[in-house]
Amino acid sequence: MIKGIIFDFDGVVTDSEPPYIDALVSFMQSIGIDATFEELQHVVGQNLQAIGTELVNTYHLNMSPEEFNRRSMSIYEESTDIRKFKPMEGLYEFLDRCKEKGIRICVASSSDYNYLYTIMDSLKIRDYFEWVLSGHGLSKGKPDPLIYNMAAEKMGIDKKDLMIIEDSPNGIRAGIASGIYTVGFKGSRVIQDTSMADKEVDSFNEIEL
């Protein structure tokens, strides 16, 4: 019986990942590297430090991960108003289903708190969630299960009674490693491999509570 659900955020609550990948593409082009959306979309689900480190190493860039993130995020922030993000289709109805059934819910995301709260407030969904956890600053990011283990502990619910909803391979690996039933959510424009999840769904309507 499901007593609690842990939501990843980007690509699950809102389809926020495409604008970030677009910004990465623009930044790479600005430094003379022709990297496509499809080639970069695999980084979603990781924290910024991991993304910066991976792309600096992969493309042999003459800059630190910190500089990479600062410059790419500058493009993202200039081109994107996160307050205009839309909820994923069916989100409100699913949150209401959780509330009606007394299922307690939590966000566990690699993104920072200011970002999460800004979007949650613009979508008017913060009151649905009892807990919000950010992986920003944690010693280990997804695919390490640290943030999901922390979420389960904070919720005080046995892992066998929890469900994770994730969209990225790294996030799904983290969920599986935590020992919590993990649903691979495929509602985003970013196409990702969710085959390792316990179940794959295309919409919230397919998730049984």
Write the CATH number for 10: 3.40.50.1000
Q: Cα(152)–Cα(163) distance, rounded to whole angstroms? A: 10
12 and 41 part of one domain = no
Q: How far is CA 120 from CA 81, 82, 88, 103, 183, in A?
A: 14, 10, 12, 19, 22
**pLDDT confidence of residue 56:** 97
pLDDT of 128 higher than 90: yes
Q: Quote the CA–CA distance of 202 and 184 in Å, as a whole number.
A: 9
Residues 93 and 169 in one domain: yes
Label residue 49 by pLDDT band (50, 70, 90): confident
Residue 58 lies in domain: 17-82
Same-domain status, 135 and 199: yes
Is the domain of 93 the same as that of 194?
yes
Domain match, 69 and 145 both: no
Residue 42: pLDDT band (50, 70, 90) is confident
Amino acid symbol at 34: D
CA neighbours within 13 Å on the CB side: how many for 106? Answer: 23
Our count of domains for the chain comes to 2
H-only helix segments in the chain: 17-30, 37-40, 48-58, 65-79, 91-100, 113-123, 146-155, 169-178
Whether residue 139 has pLDDT greater than 90: no
User: Does 23 share its domain with 10?
Assistant: no
Summarize the confidence of residues 134-152 as an average pLDDT: 91
Q: Closest by alpha carbon to 6, among 201, 185, 138, 169?
A: 185
Can you tell me the distance from the alpha carbon of 105 to that of 66, in angstroms, rounded to the nearest whole number? 33
pTM of the model as a whole: 0.88
**Residue 49 sits in the same domain as residue 127:** no
Confidence class of residue 48 from pLDDT cuts 50, 70 and 90?
Answer: confident
